[in-house]
Structure 1
Amino acid sequence: MKFDRLRLSGFKSFLDPVDLQILPGLTGVVGPNGCGKSNLLEALRWVMGETSYKSMRGAGMEDVIFSGTTGRPSRNNAEVSLLLDNKDKTAPPEFNDEENVEVTRRIERDAGSAYRINGRDVRAKDVQLLFADASTGARSPALVRQGQIGELINAKPEARRKILEEAAGISGLHTRRHDAELRLRGAESNLEKVDDTLENLHNNLRALKRQVRQATRYKNLSGQIKEVEALALHLRWQQALDAATEAENALAAAEESVASLTRDSAGASTEQLASQEALPPLREKEAECAAIYRRLTIEQDGLENEAQRAAETVSRLSAQIETIQEDARREQDVLKDAENQLKQITEEKEILREKNAGASGKAVRAAEKAAQEKCDASQKRLAEAENDLNAIIRKLAAHQARKTDITAALENNRKKHTRIEEERTRLEQERDTLLEEGLSETRRQELKTTISALSEDYKKAAESVQSAHDQLAACNKQAETCAEPSRQAHAVLERLLGEQSALQAILSASEDADTPGLIETLKVETGYEAALGAAFGDDLNAPSDAEAAAHWLALPPFSEPPSLPDGATSLSGFVHGSNVLGRSLSLVGLVDRSKGAALQKHLSAGQRLVSLEGDLWRWDGFCATADAKTPAAQRLAQMNRLDALTSEIAMAETNAHATDEAAQTAKSKVRDATEVDNNCRAQLKQIQMKLTEAREELSEVETGAEKQISRLAAIEEACQRMTSDIDELADMIKASEADLQALVDGGDALTSEQSTHQELVGEARSIYEQDRAERENLVRERNERENRLKRLLQDIDSWQSRLENSRQQIESLKARQTQTEQEKQEAESIPQILAERSSALVEQINLAETNRKQAADTLAEAEKRLAEADKHHRAAQSALSEVRETRAALEAKTTAAKERLEEIGQHIKDTLHCAPEDALAIANFDPEKKFPEIEEIEAKLERYRRERESLGGVNLRAEEEAEEVEAQINEIQTERDDLSQAINKLRYGIGQLNREGRERLLAAFETVNGHFAKLFTQLFGGGTAELKLTESDDPLEAGLEIIAHPPGKKPQVMSLLSGGEQALTAMSLIFAVFLTNPSPICVLDEVDAPLDDANVERFCNMLTNIAETSDTRFLIITHHALTMARVNRLFGVTMQERGVSQLISVDLATAEQFAETGRDLSSDQNKDEMKSMG
């Protein structure tokens, strides 16, 4: 598949939909920093299934959605589509029918990502597998992002090995092996837990057996306690029964007393009721008279209150009239003041207008003009003097600044001179120290010897581990081989036992124990059951006992039995066990089912023919086919099968026992091999740790030596550079001292000139201040007159307004006074009317009071009679209440006695689960004997309970739990054996993974190393380079070290190369991996940034060669002009609108063709524009 087009919409800064054409050859992408070029690479990785938001440079995956700008709102979704050319039909089978495959990934806020392939929803895993099958993907080494070159340079050798794993296609090996090791450790941990569980279960089983004995003792004591408790409960129940009977008798006597006193109380209650009925009419009459009296009294009080209110109203209105008159007088005074004030302001206004308009006004304006001209002239002279002074000050300041700069530079150079001399002295001392110390060659040789010896030990240990592993694998295989026959043998045995059990159940269900049928005594040869069943049917179920209702009699054989037809064999030769059927069997012939119908007509009376299959032909013409199976035939076949199963089960048990012994022997060998394998692995790990420590120490020693040599060279170079710097600084100090002296001499003249100009500026400023003050005084006086005139005009308007308001207020007060005087006259007439109404009410009140007193006397006499009736009724009620209390007490006592009786009875039912009358039977006590005292019984019961409680907690299910634990132990032991086999399989699988990974990694290493050496020579224009596996003899644990030999230099590791050399070396490695496992697309994000022009040229040549010799399409993001010039087409990423990226394109090859044919399109101009964007 080929990559054709990448479409972005709402992805990061690409808000509007854009298409990036991915065409054959080299495609360049240029643009200013921050305009969104790298977003194209991230979009490509994202659509190919990238799941890490950190790889997208975000805090969450939703950060890839356009987040908005000041002019554009944010979006809720982003979508990237990748169009693939599938004309070569290399896509997975489900997509191979289409010539184009479009992969789309869409993300929405708070909804996650969705993937589609050709419009069909798929999983992320499906997309990742699609690109993985095409030798690419989101994590492909052919997608080189910014900084990846630096990461590869600075990576440790072990981390650098991952790029080699990508080329070998085993990048997931470590993960799969790690998962397998985790499962292995988990299985081993589970095995330990299973052993612990078995040990705990055995301990539990021993404890449960002790608890079984304890539970037996507990049950015996519980039985004794139950008998004694039953006797105690019986005695308590009998006592409660007697107490309940006595309480019932006393309650009956109390009931009779209550009835007598109730009759007396009823008579008193009747008398009381009659008195009460006479009271309500009298009370109503008394209340009616009292209400009339109260109403008249209240009405009289209302008249008095109304007269008082009228007097208060007259007084209030008189006060209001006086207030209104006073307000009117005050307003008249205000009116007069306003008229006088308005007259004075008007006169002052006319005086000011005459002053401003007359001859005096013109003189003032002429004086102001003369003062302004004089002030302007003095200000001009002051400005000229200040300009001259400022010029002198600037010259002096420049002179002083120059002097300060020279002084500071001189001081800095002196300090720098001293510091460099001190640094040179320190470096010379350090050089002498390093030369005296020398290199630790002896320790290096010792470490190499140790590493060599440990390497040999490691190889031997590895061989031992492999041998032990192979032995373990062989034992596992043998165990599996032996386990399968054992499982099959047990399966056969279980099947036979199941069949035997089923047949026994069927046969037992149909047997009659009292009168077994004749069929139970017969023995039929195998294969003849259907024939015998067809011949006799259900008659075989009849017994041979003469006492049975239906039975067989043992008759002698026929003296001259009728002969069977030719071709028929008597059935009697195949049936044994009873002579009762001898006569009948002589009349039954066995024939082939194909001849039965033909021979039927030759049968004599009573004869019949049968076949092995169960067909029947009788002498009287009756026929039955083999499909009509008879129960007797089926039972006979079952009986024969049951007999045959006995021998088959014996053979199966023997076979199962033999296979079990073989399986146990194989398991024992597996355990022994596992122990040997673990020991060998532990020894190998210990040797590997020692070897790693020695290698690390050797690396440190060698690194220290290299650093020492590099440090000496650096010190020597620094000393030479410092000597040159010291000489240069000495010359600079001399020149600065000469310049400083010349500046000191020229500064005095400027200072004197500055003093002279300062005096002139002072005189000019004094004259200007006097002129300005005179002009401001004239202006201020004129402004004051004008402001006063304005205020006077405002005051006139204000006083006129006040004058009008006062006149209106006077008119309003006159109207209010007239209205108030009318209200006062009306209020003064009210008291006369109220006096007339009051005299009439006095007579009515006297009459009402007389009527109220008469009604009250009558009511008092009736209430006295009621009080006497109440007294008599209360006495009767008191006597009745006492008797009722006595009855209630007896009822409570009776109820308590009954409840006590019921409580004891219920307790007996709950405790003994029987009626109270049956408790004595449970106690096993002879009722003819004298009952013991209740205290004696309770003491005995307490003693038994203490004895039972002394046993402590007792597990009554101990026996059942012991059986369950034994079953658990057997089940877990079986699981333990299965777990051991699983552990051995895991170890074998891990070994296979490691072996396959080493083989593939070593093969990829050779291929990548060859490509790397070739590309290195091509990029450097010479030199050599190679890859080495370091730090471990195991390729899967080794590091990848790069040894580079640039032209004209010694072989060096990556860290000692220059920045450009490191970048070229890393590119050689990346493209070596790329050539080993080519990808349909390669994206390079600013990888040429650290290269100079010559190296960029070689880099472009390499890309051109790869593009021409492969189908890979290159997408190069760059700022370098040479790279831009070498690509086939350019795409420019711009950000004309802040925060929103746009894409423009120029096909350079087409532009050159137009230029050659003389058309107007100028490719050079377009290329310059593209470069300017970079």
Structure 2
Amino acid sequence: MVTIKKLEIVGFKTFARKTSITFDKGLNVIVGPNGSGKTNIVDAIHFVLGELSARSLRATNFQSLLFHGNNEIPKAKYASVTVHLDNSSRMIPIDTDVVTISRYLGADGVSTYKVNGKKYSRQSLVNILGQASLVGSMNIVSQGTTMRIADFSPEDRRKNVENIIGIGEYDRKKEEAQKHLREAELNLKLALGKFEEVKKRLVELEKERNDLLRYNYIKNELNRLKAAELSSRIKEIQKKIEEIKKEIQEKEAKLEEFKARREQLEVQRSTKEKEWREYAIKVMDKGGDRLVLLQKQIGDLNSEIAGLKTTISSAKISIKSYENMWKEKIETLKSIRKQITENRKEIRKIEKSKIEIEKILTEKRRIKDEIAGKIDEIKQSLEENSQKLSVLEDEIKELEKEYSKLEVKIKAEKESCSIFEDQLNSLNSRKNSFQKFYQNFSERLRQINSLKVKEEKALEETVDTIAKIKRQIERVEAEIKNAEKIAKKARLSVTEFASRKDLADSVLSEEKALEHLETLSNLKVLRGIYGRLKQKIRIKQGYRKAVEAAAEGWLQALVVEDMEVVRVCAETLKRAKIGRVKLLPLSNLKNVKTVKNPNIPGILGPATMFVECSIRYQPAVNFVLGDTLISSDEKTALIISEQGYRVVTVDGEVFEPGLRLEVGFYREPIDLSEILPSEETIKRISETVNSFEKLLDGRKSDLKRLSNELVRLESEKIAHEDNIKFFERDLTELRQNLERVHKNLVEVNRKIRSLNHKYEKSKTWIFEAETRQKQIEQRLHVLRVEAANLRKKLKPETITNLEAEKAKLETEINELQRQFDELKTRLTMHNSNLENVLLPSLNTTRREILGIGANLRKRNKDFKMATEKLKEVTEKLEMLEKEKEELTAQMMAKREEHKKYASIVEELNKQIRKINNEMEPYINAVNDLKQELLRYQIELDHNLKELKMLGYENPDEAWIENYETLKPLKDALEKEYKILSEKVNMNAIVLYEPQKKNYKELSVRINQIENEKREILRFMETVEREKREAFFEALEKLNTKFSETFNAITGGKGWLQLQNPDDPFSGGLDIIVEFPGKSLMPVTAASGGEKSVVAVCYIFALQSLAKSSPFYIFDEIDAHLDPVNTQRLAELLAREAKNSQIIVISFKEAMAAKADRLFGIYAKNGVSNIYSLPLVGVQH
């Protein structure tokens, strides 16, 4: 808590000399007459704490604060006030226990501030004092404040509360938000205007773009359908190729079978021919050898002929297939050439149309130029007015040119400004992001610091807990050690008690028997037992010894109902073998007679007279005591006993009839059952010892638990230490991030400043340019009016007609230019089709035709060679057959064996020929299939190439099921494609995207502005809600404090009341009070003194709204209070001063009487003097 230790004043107002006032904590009261300078002390404190208003210091200007001088002391050249503040709490952010603040005021009215001897600016001083709540609060109440507050109107009172709690800050935020809202609405309006223009152009471009996209889509779709068609055809071909290959394999397998059979026959034939030759060598002559050789040659020739026929057949089929393929490719080539011709014809047609339109354009432009020339000639042919008109038109043209340039530049600059704005918004957004990052990092840093502190605290607590647990373990171990000793002793004691009890049981068998019967009676096992006789009677005071001596132990007898109960009890005791007891059966004692009082002096009466009991138990009493008299002394007892009476003295001496005496000191019978513990007691003690031992085991468990807890806490300690290290790493990283974000913020701020400079520069230029435009517009208006007047004078009809014709020509030129551009686009498309599709297809087809021609020529050559070879081999075979027949005929007559060999070989040849004949259809079929396969393969390769040109690597990518059903779609697409190709704008997409981007950016910008607007409205609602909540919270606090203070001072009731609770800021704040003995009334209806009381209470209540201040200064707040209320106020201040320092300026004795420190002040010759007063002299 910061308090004022000392105040030093020099040359300030009435303090001419250096004056020091040392204040203590608690209640400091300064008293003195009017005009002595009490309030100047308050002004001095205001002054040194930075007050800027001379009027608040009750002066016209700051120079008038200097001491004015008198006949002894000259006028002060300067004023200085120094306050020494106790800063041991370090609430003031200066690391010293005492902070010294000085303010020096020169004669020129200029102030200098120093803190601990160092110069400070006022703002810096106010900042550091504000942190200790020394400025801007309600801690100093000046003179007259109470009456001003009492006279506040309800609205002023409400506004005063608003000012104290800072409601103005909410209004400032709301006003600032409304300013942002207006800016947002203006930005939204501008953005929407620009948005509509962009949207209109975007719609046009979107239509053109959609046409182009549709055109490209249809083109791609047609390519896809063509690819699907090719894919379908490829799959058909592939399927056909697979079928052909399968069929070829089957037929070739059959041919292999034939070849195997033929080879087998040829082997047999070779074997037979070999045998035949051997036979011929042995038997036949040279003719036979020749015949065998001929037979072999004939067989070889037959095989060769079969092979040649196969080759010729295959060649025929291949030639036919190649001829068909050649014809197809020729047709394809013709078709492509026709398309190329048509395309080139169309190109020439377009180029011709283009040239014609270009010629027309040139002609139109020439005519337009001629008309313009004529217009110029007409204008030049005019006289002075014409020259003036020309000058005017030139000036108009120059001005229009300048205006247009300015318009373009302004538009460009506005675009630049818009870009700058977007960039600034982006940078500001980045800046806000960086600031948020910075705040987040700072908050995270704070949180981690907090977490680290918590972890350190937790670590410290864990360490403390570990130490505590260790102490607990030591204590528990000591307790267990002591407890084990106690348990051991207790167990020995139980054993000892049990031994004693056993001994007592043997001695006190009667007591044990009585207890046994009583227990059975309590358990309802035995009925008719009423209890011991001594429990049923009450002996009169002073006669207990006499009665007990007379009863001779029968007071311990059990009172029972009858003899049957006596019998049952006897049997019970016999069975239990416990002992003997005395029993008194009531039903058998009813006729017992008692001794009568002999009326002898010294005889007090029968013993039964001194015992009280219920009538039910009277027979038992009569039986035990009915024969005994009580004597007051021994002598009387002795005399009466000789007469046959049984007498007992008050002291317990018994005199039996005759000479039997029982004398001596009476001792009450010892009840060993009460001295020795009962069995139940021993049992309970034993149970207690068991419980104690269990508790001991529990403490051992606690010891074990504490040991486990110690282990856990040690682990927790390690975890806390690890967390602290982790947090330290995080803190280092966060500080680095903060530094990076700070650098980014600095860079963004630099860019923002640079862009703002450029933006302002552009705005200035736009303003100047628009100003120039307005000047040009004004000048143009004047010139056009003047030119129009001149044209009227110069027969403007001719020029007007020529200009109309010129405008018409310009329209036609524009239309022709559009047609020219369309032709140019179509020409580009046709050239592209020619270069990229038709010519490549033509070259491919030519290469295929050349390949087919080469294969056809090779096959024809093979066919021709095979045919010639067949003819040659056939002729040779015929010659050999003829020679064979001749030799056979010659040898037939010679040997039958030859005939046999010949017939076998011939038969084998027939079989071989038969197989050859059977093979021939298969060979032809295989050749035909291979030719067909080749044709399909060529077609497949061609289709695959086309498919690849369309962008598909394999048929599966382009496959469409049920392609045949899509042919109508293809026709419709081709028709639409033709229509679109005539009007499509090929640059639409290129133009559309930037426009679309601009549109999106504007849309995003509009959304951002609308979001900003919503956020601003939401913020305004939040501010209004927080404002109301803050006001009502402060009002409740103010009301509570006012009620408490008013009750403490006056003993009455008082509260604050809003005039309009639903809308508190539209009405005022009333104070309602009820003084003791008076009715409720508003403060406006109270008397002057009552208003003062209310104002004082209200001031104290207002202080509860401000930040807690370390000290309070009140200047004559009790001036208008009566003695009673002054006394109560003084008591209140004394209580409050226990927790803070209070300085009161007063001239009331009641206030001075409560002071902890008292000062007196007086004025002499216009100079104030202050001195400390002893508290004992307050009343004087």
TM-score (norm 2): 0.32
TM-score (norm 1): 0.32
Highest CA radius of gyration, 1 or 2? 2
